Amino acid sequence: MEPFLWIFLIFGISATVPQCITGQNQELLLVTIATDENDGFRRYYRSTKKYDLETKVFGLGTQWRGGDMTGAGGGHKINILKQELEQYKKRDDLIIMFTDSYDVVITANAEEILEKFNKFSARVVFSAEGFCWPDQSLVSQYPEVKVHEKRYLCSGGFIGYAKDLYEIVSYKDVLDSDDDQLYYTKVFLDALLREKWNIKLDKRSELFISLHGALDEVMLKFKGSHSFLYNMKTGTIPVVIHGNGPIKPEFNRLANYLVDGWTTSSGCISCNEDTVSLEGLQEEDYPSVLLGIFIETSTPFLREALQYIAELDYPKQKVDLLLHNNIENHEKDVEPFLKQYASKYKSVNAFKPSDNIPESAARNWAMEECIKKDCQYFLAIDGAAHLSNPKTIQYLIQQNRSVLAPLVARREKAWSNFWGALSSSGFYARSEDYMDIVFRERIGLWNVPYISGVYLIQSHVLPSITEGYINDNLDADMALCKTLREKGIFMYVTNREYFGHLVFVDDAETKRLHPELWEIFNNPYDWHRRYIHPNYSTSLEESTVIEQPCPDVFWFPAMSETFADEMVEEMENYGGWSGGKNDDSRLSTGYENVPTDDIHMTQINMQNEWLEFLRKYVSPLQQKVFPGYYHDPPKAILNFVVKYDPSRQKSLRPHHDSSTFTINIALNHPSEYQGGGCRFIRYNCSVTDTRKGWMLMHPGRLTHYHEGLQITGGKRYIFVSFVDP
C-alpha cells in the first residue's frame, strides 16, 4: 500500500518542474568503463539487460592505468571517453549516461531515465554526494544547497547530450593518473563552463544516488514484483544506485534485492539466472572437485560430520580429497573414515597433527593442489559443518556463482556461517535481513561480506587468491574473505535448500576420551542423534503400552548402543572406581550403607549434563507410567555407573533406594557377562535378560525392595540415578 502514496507525491512535485527542453526523439545510450568482467560488472550488466538499456562497455581487456581507485586517480577514464565519444560528438538527439559499473546497478528503463533527465532542463547532469572530494578546499566554491540536498559533484555517474559530454571530456588534456572527479569538479565550479554546457547537479537524487554517507537516507521498497530504493529525505526514487567508497558490503546487500533480484511477492528472481545443470551427465562427466576437509579445532561430533561428507551424492571418482587434521584426539575419528572411504576417492592427501602444518598453509595448499590438478571446483568443508543434505555439492555447482556457501547454522540458533554486514573494524555486524536469512524466512541467494565453514569456489577464481588465507593479523577465513572483498569477487550464501547445520565447537570437554557425552547443552541435536535410542519417542506415544518385566518396573528403549559403549569406555578410561566400600568420602555423610563399585557423575564433571538428561528425557517417560507425579526439574544427587565384576563386586544385597523412583540403564549386552541381573524381592521377579541401552524405572524407597544378582563371569555395567531423593 505504502509505495502508492509517495509515488503520487513525486508526480506532484514533478509537475512544477519546467518542461523538457527537447522532444520525443531522444535516444539513450549507457556507457561504462570496465577493464575486466568481474562479478560487479556482471551485476551491472544484468541490470542493463533487465531494463533493455542499450549499453556500450569501453576498456574491456585493456590495462588499467588510472590508479587503484582507492586514492585519487581515474583520469584514464576521461581519456577513454574522449576517444570513444568522439563518434557521437555531432549527435544532438543522443543522450549518453555514463556510470561506473563495478559498484553500480540501474533500476529503470530508458523512458524513465530520459524523463527524469529532461525534468532537470539541463544539458548535462552530474550525480552529487555529501563529501567534497578529492580537494576539500573547494567546498566554499560550491553553490549552497538546501538541507537534505547533496552539494558536491560525484564523477561516478553523469548524463547529458553526447555533443556536450564530448566537449567536456576533451576540452582539456588530462593524465591517466590525474583524478577524474577533480577534472569534472573544476569544470562545474567554473561558472562560465557550467553555464556553457548547462551543467546541473542531481542534488536531490532524482536519478543518481551515491550511497557513501547516504545509507540512512534510503530504504528498500517493494511494489508487486518490483524492488527499488526510496530516498526518504527527498522523496525521490533514484535509479542509478552507486555503492561508492567503503560501503561495498551494504551496497552488495541492497543489490541482492534491487533490479527485482528478490522481492516480497516473487522471492528470488535472480536465483534461476545463469545456472548450470548436471542433469543427465554420466558420472565420469561430472566436474572435478578438490575437496578440502579442515579440522583445525576440537570439534564435537566430527565422526558424524565425516559420515555426512562420505554420504554426499557426488561421484567420488571425480573428487580429490585433501584432509588436514590438526587435533590429536580426532585421529580416532579420521582414521576409520579414511579406512572406509579413501580408496573410493580419486586421490587422497591426509595430514596429521604431527605434520605440523598450520591452518592457513594447509588451506592455501589445497587451493594450489586444485590449480595443479586442473580441478573445476574447490570445496572447503570444516569439521563443524554437518552437510546432511546429500545433494549439497550438486546444488552449489548448479547455482554457478564464483564463491558460494550453503547456509549452515547452529540448530535453532542465529549463529551461522556468514555475516550479513561488516563492522567498521571489519568484524561481524548484523544486517537488517540476517535473521530472516538464517531462519529461512527469506529464501534466496545473498551476496555477503563473510562466509566460512563450507563453501565452493570456482577454479577460475583461484589464481587470483592463492595466498588468500594468509594474513598475519587475521584467522584464515577472515583473511580469505578480506582477499575476496578486495578483489571484488562476490561471496554468496544460499539458503534455497536446507543443507545442514553447524555444531558449536567452543567450551568442549576436550580432555575427555568422548567429549561428546558432555554436549547435551551445547549441541543438543547432535547429542540426541548420537546418544538417544532411535525408538525413544515411541514410548511417549499414547498408544504405546510400556513393557513391565516385573510389576511397576517399566522398561524403555532410552540410550543408543553408542552411548552405552562410550560411557563404559569413558569410565574405564577415567578409572576412579570406588571399590564398593562403606566409607565414602564422596558423600556428605561419608558413609554408604549399600556400597557399589562405581563412579559418580560428580567425579567426571557430568552432574549438570545428567540432570539435564533427566529433565529432558526421563521426566516425560516417568509422567507416562507414574501419572500425577511431577517434579520440575527432577533432582538427583546420586548418578553413577556401577560395575559388577566377579573379581571385585559380584552382587549387591537387598535394599531400598533413597529415591522416589530409580532408573537403571544397561550399558552392555548380557552376552558379555554371566549371571547378574536385578531381583525385586516382594514380587520374586528378576530382570536378567537386560537390553543394552534400555532403561528400567521403578519406585525407590517403597515396594521395590531389590538386590543385584551375582555375576559369575565377564563384566556388567549399569547406569543408575536415584531421582528425587
Ligand X SMILES: *[C@@H]1O[C@H](CO)[C@@H](O)[C@H](O)[C@H]1NC(C)=O
Binding site for ligand X (CB under 6 A): 42, 274, 276, 400, 534-535, 684
What cell numbers appear for 514 in the block?
Answer: 568422548
When the beta carbons of 266 and 400 are compared against ligand X, the nearer one is 400
* Greatest CA separation for the chain: 113
Residues 706 and 686: their CA atoms lie apart, in Å, by 9
Select from 15, 18, 37 the least CA-distant residue to 120: 18
When the beta carbons of 538 and 623 are compared against ligand X, the nearer one is 538
When the beta carbons of 42 and 200 are compared against ligand X, the nearer one is 42
Select from 410, 333, 417, 351 the least CA-distant residue to 382: 417
When the beta carbons of 534 and 633 are compared against ligand X, the nearer one is 534
SS3 of residue 78 by DSSP: helix
When the beta carbons of 400 and 608 are compared against ligand X, the nearer one is 400
Could you list the beta-strand ranges (E) of 203-351: 208-210, 218-223, 226-231, 240-242, 262-263, 267-268, 289-295, 319-325, 347-351
The nearest distance, CB 376 to ligand X, in angstroms, is 12
What cell numbers appear for 473 in the block?
Answer: 593479523
When the beta carbons of 42 and 373 are compared against ligand X, the nearer one is 42
Phi/psi of residue 665, nearest 5 degrees: -105, 125
Q: Cell numbers 551494504 correspond to what residue?
A: 250
DSSP-derived letter for residue 616 is I
Quick one: angle between helices 359-372 and 476-486, nearest 10? 50
Annotate 444-462 with DSSP letters as a single string. Answer: SEEEESEE-SEEEEEGGGG
- Cis before 557 (ω within 30): no
Residue type at 250 in one-letter notation: E
Residues 653 and 661: their CA atoms lie apart, in Å, by 19
What cell numbers appear for 336 in the block?
Answer: 576409520
The nearest distance, CB 383 to ligand X, in angstroms, is 27
The nearest distance, CB 213 to ligand X, in angstroms, is 31
Select from 110, 99, 97 the least CA-distant residue to 44: 99
What cell numbers appear for 311 in the block?
Answer: 554420504
Contact in structure between 634 and 615 (CB atoms under 8 Å): yes
When the beta carbons of 232 and 276 are compared against ligand X, the nearer one is 276
CB neighbour list of residue 384: distance below 8 Å, 6 or more residues apart: 297, 299, 305, 453, 502, 503, 504, 505
What cell numbers appear for 462 in the block?
Answer: 583461484
DSSP-derived letter for residue 287 is P
Contact in structure between 278 and 366 (CB atoms under 8 Å): no
The nearest distance, CB 690 to ligand X, in angstroms, is 14
The nearest distance, CB 679 to ligand X, in angstroms, is 9
Residues 415 and 503: their CA atoms lie apart, in Å, by 10
Residues 205 and 233: their CA atoms lie apart, in Å, by 10
When the beta carbons of 156 and 444 are compared against ligand X, the nearer one is 444
Per-residue HEC secondary structure of 477-495 comes to HHHHHHHHHHCCCCEEEEC
- Cis before 134 (ω within 30): yes
CB atoms within 10 A of CB 318: 20
Torsion sign across C-alpha atoms 117, 121, 122, 125: negative
The nearest distance, CB 496 to ligand X, in angstroms, is 16
SS3 of residue 675 by DSSP: strand
The nearest distance, CB 41 to ligand X, in angstroms, is 10
When the beta carbons of 265 and 275 are compared against ligand X, the nearer one is 275
When the beta carbons of 9 and 276 are compared against ligand X, the nearer one is 276
Residues 695 and 666: their CA atoms lie apart, in Å, by 7
Residues 292 and 369: their CA atoms lie apart, in Å, by 10
When the beta carbons of 417 and 458 are compared against ligand X, the nearer one is 458
Residue 236 to residues 3, 202, 205, 257: CA-CA distances in angstroms?
12, 11, 7, 18
The nearest distance, CB 564 to ligand X, in angstroms, is 12
Contact in structure between 394 and 488 (CB atoms under 8 Å): no
Which active-site residues does the annotation give? 716
The nearest distance, CB 695 to ligand X, in angstroms, is 13
The nearest distance, CB 178 to ligand X, in angstroms, is 33
SS3 of residue 602 by DSSP: coil
HSE-up (13 A, CA, CB side) for residue 314: 30
When the beta carbons of 181 and 459 are compared against ligand X, the nearer one is 459
The nearest distance, CB 594 to ligand X, in angstroms, is 22
What cell numbers appear for 404 in the block?
Answer: 558460494
Torsion sign across C-alpha atoms 105, 107, 110, 115: negative
When the beta carbons of 400 and 712 are compared against ligand X, the nearer one is 400
The nearest distance, CB 395 to ligand X, in angstroms, is 15
The nearest distance, CB 456 to ligand X, in angstroms, is 13
